[in-house]
Amino acid sequence: MSALDAALQFARDNHPRFLDEYRALLALPSISTLPEHKQDVLDTADWVAAQLREHGMTEVEIVPTAGHPIIFASWLGAPGKPTVLVYGHYDVQPVDPLNEWESGPFAGEIRGDYIFARGASDMKGQIFAQIKALESLVKTGQCPVNIKYMIEGEEEIGSPNLQPFIEANLDRLKADFVLNCDAGIHSPDVPAITYSLRGLAYFELEIRTAAKDMHSGLFGGSVYNPIHVLAELIAGMHDAQGRVTLPGFYDRVRELDAEERALLQRVPYSDERWQTMTGTQALYGEAGYSTIERVGARPTLEVNGIWGGFIEEGAKTVLPARASAKISTRLVADQRPEEIYGILKAHLETRMPAGIDWRLHQHSCGAGAIMDRKSAYMQSAEAALKTVFGKDPIFKREGGSVPVVSMLQQKLGIDSIMLGFALPDDGIHGPNERQYLPNFYRGIDTYIHFLLSL
Amino acid sequence: MSALDAALQFARDNHPRFLDEYRALLALPSISTLPEHKQDVLDTADWVAAQLREHGMTEVEIVPTAGHPIIFASWLGAPGKPTVLVYGHYDVQPVDPLNEWESGPFAGEIRGDYIFARGASDMKGQIFAQIKALESLVKTGQCPVNIKYMIEGEEEIGSPNLQPFIEANLDRLKADFVLNCDAGIHSPDVPAITYSLRGLAYFELEIRTAAKDMHSGLFGGSVYNPIHVLAELIAGMHDAQGRVTLPGFYDRVRELDAEERALLQRVPYSDERWQTMTGTQALYGEAGYSTIERVGARPTLEVNGIWGGFIEEGAKTVLPARASAKISTRLVADQRPEEIYGILKAHLETRMPAGIDWRLHQHSCGAGAIMDRKSAYMQSAEAALKTVFGKDPIFKREGGSVPVVSMLQQKLGIDSIMLGFALPDDGIHGPNERQYLPNFYRGIDTYIHFLLSL
């Protein structure tokens, strides 16, 4: 039996155990943004590190950072072969609104072909499929390449401590390319490789118009209402064509050329499917671009949260003193996230009425990235997908942000192969996040094929 | 010693005990809008009813309603004298934001000339001063008029059960006029009588654009963001002159004539004082009107609360499915609150983008009112204020809403004398609500003078 067949057979024989372990991983509520889950995050790091140790990694370390730790592991027993740096994250998003989950967000309930849990798709399911591919290779022979792991616990809060870690470990992280598992395909029948990612710059704006909340009857109509001011500002951030109005926002944006627009045209897409996926009755976006272009190749600005005044049940006749919003921008290649704070701030300075206190805070930022669609490693990934799925993968641009991709491009000088098996309708970051289980198993097979073909 | 001197002397001698009792009343957290305070509201009704029983009321009943009970009491032992219906409420607003209180909201801490507590000014301090005037009269002789009390527990949630109570008790409530203690004066040196009140119509708007929250990277820029939609709608509710844009909103508004504008000019006012009181750096309102006119004689629309998406600490890259706002209008004489729902709904129907689910809910509404400035009872109140404060009171329009005034005008055909001693900078409905204690004592004296002069 070839090394390939042996590994594939081992994986197949162990599907039930792999699924049990996957559910055990999903049961750990590693919500990185909520301080009360700090210990859960640590427990998850331990759990993942134990897996890597068990599957032959010679060096496994849980490296403390100023926030949540980073797992580093390596095995360099394949001289002459390429060195792959596997990237992933073991943290997850919060689970609110909790009442919209049909089963517990950490229960890992299986309904039909899906497993439901926070992190099932983003991205415990992906990194764990890769680890199970490693196990299948190691337990039936040995890993065919030199391999390193860098699995962080702060991706969902913008990876604040990843760059310092990378800068302090440039030699240790040295590799030929990155296998980034935080990725997805287009649909169960359409394998895909993402070659472009959007960057992110996330802000919080607080507006304060008065020293304290007031009675809306006694003072309403005589002073600024911070909610009105905030609403005006937010309304003014887009024009009637759905374009962002911040001066300078589009200055560095790389416009799509005809060749790439044609390539993106090949991504299977229908309005109907998009609306079903999002549960919307209407699509809306920047004029002059298709939906695929809007989410992959165009920068956007979204308000992620807003609050002010009385927000409990009932009626309180308060004229609030403060209102706040979380505002994030998604950036495309060539836009510089570190410039966006200044662009937003300048816009607000122009629009803000006089006599109002306000504060703009930057939560996080990371650049977008574009990878070479024709590199040798990209071709190996393409072939592995074709073999497992029986179809040529499409190449696509991803609307989400994976800041580590541009970070590793800049710091280590290496490209990332985005190879993961999440689906667009997995509901990541929302309630009832799920993973399509057949993709979990095909993912294991694809990683086996890929690593053996290098 | 005259009945007047005896009652005033009794009050003075009992100031320390009155203050202790006032603090005991403030210690009861009778927040009518929060279900968890239901028992506290009941306890407060019991406490107030016990006071009335102790001070000679022959009929004291705590009347259950669909919500919180109404206290009714009467004493009719002064044949040939007018019958006064005293109105008040024993419920209070919520206390959030709790962290902005310098002492416990129910501690009744005294600092300098002020007592700090939720309800100190709105309006436990006022109704309790009236009850202590009653005690002073009764304990030194007898009450000089026939007197009835109607003290409700739902004023702060829009008095949903008051109108049914009034309609079911028209005979029992029969009186010559209403003494409404839910009122204030202009400043410690400027006594005042309110002859006009604004009405209120309070709504909640919910916008839903998608079935569930989504990832802002994967879907941002391709579907409606409900926060953007809501912000556009709110921004569109006022024009650049600060006027409300809802078609029909101003149709019934009684415009100020030159005589009344001149009268309101006499209300002591300075921008500086208004800004100090509100803690604002700038004033803002409808063009063409003074601040006094804006809050007293012009209708306004204020968003009292807004929420949507991720509003906890940190950064969550969510594209929310829903956003909501609490929106209230303050109405002036002749505007019909029951028409405002239709006016707001029609406006939203015109402005709402297609394909968005939304729901407009009405929380409560009540009309504004204007009273005869020259009636005999009004003159008695004027004289009592002049005697105690040593100055002619000003006549003013109140920006707040006291729906009971128009309700009693309509149902019983009697006007209300608004006689209370709150101050504009008492911070009612906000943190650190306070009552100026000298006004509490002068209030007792004024009520004694007033009742004896009828």
Res B401 pLDDT > 80: no
Domain ranges (residues) in chain B: 3-197+368-452, 201-250+294-366
Mean pLDDT (whole number) for B199-217 = 93
Contacts of B340 (CB under 8 A, 6+ apart): B201, B249, B329, B331, B365
Query: With contact defined as beta carbons under 8 Å apart, do B33 and B160 qualify?
Result: no
Among B198, B221, B280, the residue with its CB nearest the CB of A217 is B198
Residue B171's pLDDT band, with cuts at 50, 70 and 90, is very high
Burial track B165-197 (b if 16+ CB lie within 10 A, e otherwise):
bbeebeebbebbbbbbbbbbbbbeebbbbbbbb
Judging contacts by C-beta atoms under 8 Å, the chain B residues touching residue A271 are none
B93, B307, B317, B434: which to substitute to probe chain A, counting the most A Cβ within 10 Å?
Answer: B317
Phi, psi for B73 (deg, rounded to 5): -145, 155
CA atoms of B454 and B83, how far apart (whole Å): 10
**pLDDT computed for residue B230 by the predictor:** 98
Which residue is closest to A422 within chain B, CA to CA? Answer: B218
Interface touch B306/A304, C-beta < 8 Å = no
pLDDT tens per residue, range A285-331: 999 999 999 999 999 999 999 999 999 998 888 999 999 999 999 99
Q: Do A309 and B306 touch (CB under 8 A)?
A: yes
Cα–Cα separations (whole angstroms), residue A46 to A53, A63, A68, A72, B279 = 10, 11, 12, 12, 52
Q: How many CA atoms lie within 13 A of B69 on its CB side?
A: 19
Task: Please report residues of B whose CB lies closer than 8 A to that of A235.
Answer: 228, 231-232, 234-236
Closest CA to B72 of B9, B4, B149, B177: B149
How far is it between the farthest Cα atoms of chain B?
84
Chain A: residue nearest B156 by CA? A316
Report, in angstroms and rounded to the nearest whole number, the Rg of chain A calculated over CA atoms.
23
Phi-psi region of A242 (alpha: psi -120 to 50; beta: other; left: phi over 0): left
CA dihedral B220, B223, B227, B232 (to 10 degrees): 120
According to the model, what pLDDT value does residue B23 have? 98
- Pick among B32, B36, B89, B284 to test the A interface (most A CBs inside 10 A): B284
Place of tokens 């005991």: B24
Q: Smallest CA–CA separation between A311 and chain B, in Å?
A: 6
- Helix then strand count (H, E) for chain A reads 15, 18
A329 DSSP 8-state letter = E
Amino acid making up residue A217: G
What's residue A339's pLDDT? 95
Q: Half-sphere exposure (CA, 13 Å, Cβ side) for B368?
A: 30
CB-nearest partner of A306 from B100, B309, B313: B309
B58/chain A closest Cα distance in angstroms: 36
From CA B29, how far away is CA B23, in angstroms rounded?
Answer: 12
The candidate with the shortest Cα–Cα distance to A306, out of B352, B285, B229, B278, is B229
Give backbone dihedrals phi and psi of A426, rounded to 5 degrees, phi first.
-75, -10
- Whether pTM exceeds 0.90: no
pLDDT single digits (tens) B20-47: 999 999 999 999 999 999 999 999 999 9
- B370-374, B404-408, B441-445: lowest mean pLDDT where? B370-374
Q: Are B90 and B62 in contact (CB under 8 A)?
A: no
Q: How far is A253 from chain B (nearest CA, A)?
A: 15
Q: Is the CB of residue B122 less than 8 Å from the CB of residue B434? A: no
Q: How far apart are CA B73 and CA B81, in angstroms?
A: 18
Which run of H or of E encompasses B435?
strand B434-436
CATH architecture of the domain with range B201-250+294-366: 2-Layer Sandwich (3.30)
Q: How does pLDDT run along chain A (454 residues), one tens digit per residue?
A: 899 999 999 999 999 999 999 999 999 999 999 999 999 999 999 999 999 999 999 999 999 999 999 999 999 999 999 999 999 999 999 999 899 999 999 999 999 999 999 999 999 999 999 999 999 999 999 999 999 999 999 999 989 999 999 999 999 999 999 999 999 998 898 999 998 989 999 999 999 999 999 988 889 999 999 999 999 999 999 999 999 999 999 999 989 999 889 888 888 889 998 999 899 999 999 999 999 999 999 999 999 999 999 999 988 889 999 999 999 999 998 899 899 999 999 999 999 999 999 999 999 788 888 888 889 999 999 999 999 999 999 988 888 877 799 899 989 999 999 999 999 889 999 999 999 999 999 999 999 999 999 9
Residue A245 Cα distances to A241, A286, A347, A348, A381, angstroms: 10, 12, 9, 11, 40
Of B238, B324, B330, nearest to A228 by CB-CB distance is: B238
A96, A215, A360, best to mutate vs chain B, most B CBs in 10 Å:
A215
Reported as type and span, the H/E element at residue B302 is strand B300-309
Chain B residue nearest residue A183, CA to CA? B218
Query: Would you give the DSSP letter of residue B124?
Result: I
Q: Which of A216, A315, A399 is facing B220, going by the closest CB pair?
A: A399
Sort out which chain B residues have CB atoms less than 8 A from A116's CB and list them.
Answer: none
Of the candidates B33, B227, B424, which has its C-beta nearest A314's C-beta? B33
Closest CA to B7 of B149, B135, B131: B135
pLDDT of residue B415: 92
**Tokens 């949260």 sit on residue:** A305
Q: Are the Cβ atoms of B305 and A308 closer than 8 angstroms? A: yes
pLDDT in tens, B251-293: 999 899 998 898 888 888 899 989 998 999 999 999 999 999 9
Query: For domain A199-253+299-366, which architecture applies?
Result: 2-Layer Sandwich (3.30)
Look at A353 and B291 and tell me if their CB atoms are within 8 Å.
no
Chain pair A-B, CB pairs under 8 angstroms: 359
Nearest 5°: the CA angle B3, B4, B8 is 115
Using CA atoms, how far residue A442 sits from A14, A188, B39, B243, in Å, is 13, 10, 60, 61
User: Please, are residues B154 and B363 in contact by the beta-carbon 8 Å criterion?
Assistant: no
What class, spelled out in words, does domain B3-197+368-452 have in CATH? alpha beta
> What's the rounded Cα separation, in Å, for the pair A397 and A419?
13
> Shortest Cα distance from B140 to chain A (angstroms)?
38
Distance in Å, alpha carbon of B363 to nearest chain A alpha carbon: 7
- Report whether A332 contacts A368 (CB < 8 A): yes
Instruction: Nearest by CB to A302, from B216, B236, B328: name it.
Output: B216
CB contact under 8 A, A315 and B353: no
Question: What integer pLDDT is reported at residue B388 of this predicted model?
Answer: 97
pLDDT of B63 above 90: yes
Residue numbers in A near B326 (CB within 8 A): 309-311, 315-316
Query: Is B215 within 8 Å of A307 when comparing Cβ atoms?
Result: no
Give the pLDDT of residue A437.
98
Cβ of A218 and B308 within 8 Å?
no
Shortest alpha-carbon distance between residue B399 and chain A (Å): 5
CB contact under 8 A, B315 and A364: yes
Measured CA to CA, the distance from residue A122 to residue A28 in angstroms comes to 14
